[in-house]
Chain A
Amino acid sequence: MATATETGLDQLDARGPTGPFRARNRQTITDVTGGPVAELSIVPALFIDRTVAALRAAAPLPREERVNALRRAGELFASAELCGLDVGDYQRRVSRVSGLALSVVEQATERIVSACGAALDQALAALPAGAVLDWSDARTQTGAALWVRRGEVFAVLAAGNHPAVNTHWLEAVALGYRVVVRPSRREPFTAARLIAAIHEAGLGQQVAFLPTDHAGADAIIAAADRSMVYGGDDVMRKYRGHPSVLPQGPGRSKILITADTDWRPQVELIAESVSRHGGVSCTSTTAVFVEGDAAAFAEALAAQLQELPARTPLDATAALPVFTAEDARRMGDHLARLAEGTVPLRGAASVVADLGDGSAALRAAVHLLPSSSSAQAGAELPFPCVWVAPWTRDDGVKPLADSLVLTVMTDDDELVDELIAQPGIRNLYVGSQPTYWTAPGVPHDGYLADFLMESKGVIKL
């Protein structure tokens, strides 16, 4: 429960099966101007171990109850006062600390609400054709596969780049997992609110909110049966090959336009694909490969992207992501170093837009690379920052091989076949489709349920 304490700041308490827990060890959450917004309780490993043990001991509720409670949780998320905040208060705080435009946070709220209602359906999209959900299903009388959980407790070390990253683990709740979430310490409000809503909706023994430090994060992974961890390349390296951890790394989403497709009518869509959600999402486009006049395309894209205004996040017209002025400068400097050897169309010198209150927006950056194999094409920065590169058939699919989403605008079916065969391309959108597009039933990075569930042979005579 958020109440004023001696510091006068909102309190984001941890939340286990017995309710909220306010730790003595608390971290101040600051907004993009550097001002304090809330105090987040940081729980020790002891609390984590006890919480996971209690969740493990709690039986999952029947499927229908889970589904109904999740739907109810979505309604509460959209409308109720939770953690002491109504939905508007919640959205403004997320906007202030994450630097995302308020409109982006509002859209994310809608996505979270609908994900609460659709969590089981989304999970069932991965149900194998030969599998049933209950051993009492008539199909087990002649033998069938039963879709069962690979474990009981699922842990999420969540990211704070975008509130909607919290939609994914709802599937695990729908499937009967007990779920513990360690929020991002940059933006813990969304996970706190969503878990408070789920508790309020009657699943108090099923989910827990465990803000913690790095040692605590390790304790969470050790205690849980399966874990999903968001992070950069360091996290990918740490957990690659770890059988119970699903690492979620940089998206590096890209667009390829072949010579048979006129890019001119696509510039607006591509600019939107770069800048939507402030360019912070793993499905935001970070590189565009052009077979043809890449320089002309880059110029047109830069012209399109310069329209985005630099405003404080709460401003109704805000579109660019905002950071503390210091972080923004650091990212601008990083970009300047990174961009050496490229042609800036909107370069590092113009990206930092100081907002005068201790914060700064990051404007869109557009750079032309000398070739499709330039290393910069894989550099994903948390603002609209796109690399344009010339591409030829001789370059092949290699520069495209590591992409969460690849949109390919082409009439070449053979090329599509080749791209489909690449395991490192996790989603392939053919045609004029922005990389941020998603729809129910379409996987994000494979189906999460593939990681959570497995098929067990069953016959019941």
Chain B
Amino acid sequence: MSAPDLSVLDLAAGERPDPDEFVRAAMHWHFSPQTGSPFWLQRAASLDFDPRADVRTFDDLSLFPNVTDELRDVKTQDLIPLGFGPRPDVVSVIESGGTTGPPKRLPMLREFADRLADSEVAYMKAAGVPQRGNWLSLFPSGPHGAFDGARRAAQRFGDGVLLYGIDIDPRWVKKQVAAGNSQVVDDYTEHIVDQAAFVLESQDVVSLRVTAPVLARIARREHLVEIIREKVRYVGWGGASMDADSRYLYRTDIFPGVELRGAYGTTMALGAGGRERAGLGHDDPCIFDANLSLWVTIRVVDPSTKRTVAVGERGQVVVSHLSRSFLLPNNDERDTALRVEAPVGQVGDSFADVAPLQQFGGAQVVEGVY
């Protein structure tokens, strides 16, 4: 078995290495005793195939079982590939939302953190975000990764861009929703908006990152709507789904002139996922293209057969992450989406109209402000 050329794993986003060559390089990195993580090296022993020999193409990734649940109690150190050496540059440990059980923890290595930030910077520049002017994030900070991700993107975006942050505790919100404490959820959401109002009123904010439910709360306050119309040029929403009618109202009635873009990110792919396709019409579904294709790819599958559904059909979102930093093939997300034809050069599917799975892994899925 000759060693594949691992440099394809290091290409800049936008470059298009051969997908199968890329897969073979990732398998070599993660399953060679010198470079793989203790978790995967040990896990390989109980696989009924040899990843380095048998996983030759992207389609072969379907050989992997979904090991996501094992990440709830694995030691985080054991997920760091040995190839990063004795002093790996771990920028943070990020945790999943804990929607479907105990949280999962992943090491965010500098290698992938920078790759993701660069991709975000390129996306936002293409969307017309001004070079100067500050950002406001209403997404969770630690142990979740969203605020940190925004901070790294802001630092790399332009000179002197400041990132303001208002924290959100999505687990607390979900707990309250599950307990039926709708008044507490209501008060908490207002509390988030109250804090955001101080920043919006006093600072020069051109870019706002916010969940769809919190954005809807902001839209209830006419004076914040006016401030956003005046100052903000870009609103990136995520964290939940947005229906086409609400998107239309934001675009035309509430925030005309503001670029509104959706993002789909998942902790289990270290924050990558999809970004809204540019130029969608009011009647188009909200289509997400993979923002770091090859490193992070998406398939929309029938949950029972795990086969890709037809274009236009709804299926479960399955995400695979293959980078030097991390390996997680075939992670079943808690979401369903319509499968959309991917743009030329993107491996895997694009997807639209994300909606929560009603039941997931036996636990009731709870959507909240996040």
Interface of A toward B, CB cutoff 8 Å: 23-25, 43-47, 49-50, 53, 222
Contact = CB atoms under 8 A, between A and B. Distances in A.
A50 B225 CA distance: 11
A387 B222 CA distance: 55
Contact of B219 (A23, A43, A49): A49
B132 to A, nearest CB: 31
Interface stretch (B4-12, B23-31, B143-151, B242-250): B242-250
B283 interface: yes
B254 interface: yes
Contacts of B283: 24
Nearest to B250: A46
A44 B245 contact: yes
B230 interface: no
Contacts of B253: 50
Contact of A50 (B248, B254, B282): B254
Contacts of B243: 24-25, 44
Contact of A49 (B216, B245, B250): B216
A49 B220 contact: yes
Nearest to A57: B222
A41 B244 CA distance: 13
A13 to B, nearest CB: 12
Contact of B216 (A25, A43, A46): A46
A222 B186 contact: yes
A336 B358 CA distance: 34
A53 B220 contact: yes
Interface residue SS majority, chain B: helix
Contacts of A50: 219-220, 249, 253-254
A47 B216 CA distance: 10
A24 B245 contact: yes
Please list the 9 inter-chain residue pairs (A to B) with the smallest Cβ-Cβ separation, ordered nearest first.
A46-B246, A24-B244, A44-B246, A23-B245, A49-B220, A44-B245, A46-B216, A44-B243, A24-B245
A168 B219 CA distance: 32
Contacts of A24: 243-245, 248, 282-283
A351 B323 CA distance: 68
Nearest to A223: B220
Nearest to B216: A46
A25 B244 contact: yes
Given A24-B244, A24-B283, A53-B222, A46 B186 contact: no
Interface in B204-254: 216, 219-220, 222, 243-246, 248-250, 253-254
A46 B222 CA distance: 13
B245 A45 contact: no
Given A25-B245, A47-B245, 19 more contacts: A23-B245, A24-B248, A24-B282, A24-B283, A44-B243, A44-B245, A44-B246, A44-B249, A45-B216, A46-B245, A46-B246, A46-B250, A46-B254, A47-B246, A47-B249, A50-B220, A50-B253, A53-B220, A53-B222
A45 B146 CA distance: 26
Nearest to B219: A46
Contacts of A49: 216, 219-220
Among A43, A46, A47, A49, the most chain B Cβ lie within 10 Å of the Cβ of A46
Contacts of B220: 49-50, 53
B338 to A, nearest CB: 14
A44 B215 CA distance: 13
A183 B239 CA distance: 31
26 contacts: A23-B245, A24-B243, A24-B244, A24-B248, A25-B244, A25-B245, A43-B245, A44-B245, A44-B246, A45-B216, A45-B246, A46-B216, A46-B219, A46-B245, A46-B246, A46-B250, A46-B254, A47-B245, A47-B246, A47-B249, A49-B216, A49-B220, A50-B219, A50-B249, A50-B253, A50-B254
B209 to A, nearest CB: 18
Contacts of B250: 46
Contacts of A23: 245
A25 to B, nearest CB: 6
Interface in B269-328: 282-283
Nearest to A52: B220
A2 to B, nearest CB: 19
A45 B189 CA distance: 15
A50 B216 CA distance: 10
A25 B243 CA distance: 8
Contacts of B248: 24
A80 B186 CA distance: 43
A44 B246 CA distance: 6
Contacts of B186: 222
A215 to B, nearest CB: 10
A166 B44 CA distance: 68
A80 B216 CA distance: 37
B193 to A, nearest CB: 13
A202 to B, nearest CB: 24
Nearest to B186: A222
A53 B186 CA distance: 17
A203 B75 CA distance: 66
A44 B220 CA distance: 13
Contacts of A46: 216, 219, 245-246, 249-250, 254
A188 B26 CA distance: 58
Nearest to A219: B216
Contacts of B219: 46, 49-50
A49 B249 CA distance: 12
Contacts of B254: 46, 50
Among B186, B249, B250, the most chain A Cβ lie within 10 Å of the Cβ of B249
A23 B250 CA distance: 14
Nearest to B243: A44
Nearest to B283: A24
